[in-house]
Homo-oligomer: A and B are copies of this chain.
Amino acid sequence: MTVHAKRIADSTVRRLSMYLRYLEDLDQEGQTTASSDALAQLSGTTPAQVRKDLSFFGSFGKRGLGYPVHELTTRLREILGLAQSWRVIIIGAGKIGSALAEYRGFRQRGFTVVGVYDNSPEKIGRAWGDATVRDIAALATDVRTLAVDIAVLAIPADDAQHVVDDLVAAGVRAILNFAPSQVHVPTHVAVKHVNMAMELEGLSFALTNRGD
């Protein structure tokens, strides 16, 4: 089944990810059904929201019996594109890139790091986990030969747009951007930003304006 990604809000996709996590736990514990109440409580939302989110993707389960845990887990994995594996490259062999490359959660969910890139002569050629850091100049060729699905950017803000343009030209269609800058891409390319300074600013805003 293909749904139209544009129509599904990012916040819905995030909740689906969260439901999946809890359902996997329940599945491992041998539970066979889960109520929308239980899913709502575990993921900090309302039962009505759970039902609405899941109704986007067809009907699951029977009224009054709750959702069938194993079946819903499988379906959510399909919906989120986790039934297959994705080939990921990391650009920027610094601390953040390194933390990402070793993050067990990625491999567990089917994201395989197939290459690491940097432009620093000191880093190029060095062993890096199972990989060797490659020259960022090889990116355009490698994206094709390695059949890269997703590129993770962990580089300074000033370099980001330039590297993104190269990635898009080479055919990358999904980018996770840790660089503290917006990047512009054509509409067929998906981008997610993780900006740690902005998250902290969200907290300083809350601390400043908590109205007490």
A interface residues with partner B (beta carbon < 8 Å): 2-6, 8, 10, 13-14, 16-18, 42-44, 79-82, 84, 86, 88, 94-96, 98-100, 102-103, 105-106, 109-111, 149-150, 173-176, 180, 182, 184, 188, 190, 192, 194-212
Contact = CB atoms under 8 A, between A and B. Distances in A.
A50 to B, nearest CB: 14
Contact of A203 (B43, B176, B211): B176
Given A81-B204, A102-B95, A199 B210 contact: no
A119 to B, nearest CB: 18
B18 A182 contact: yes
B201 A13 contact: yes
Nearest to A111: B200
A198 B105 CA distance: 10
A82 B209 CA distance: 12
Contacts of A2: 208-209, 211
B192 A150 contact: no
Contacts of A194: 194, 196, 199
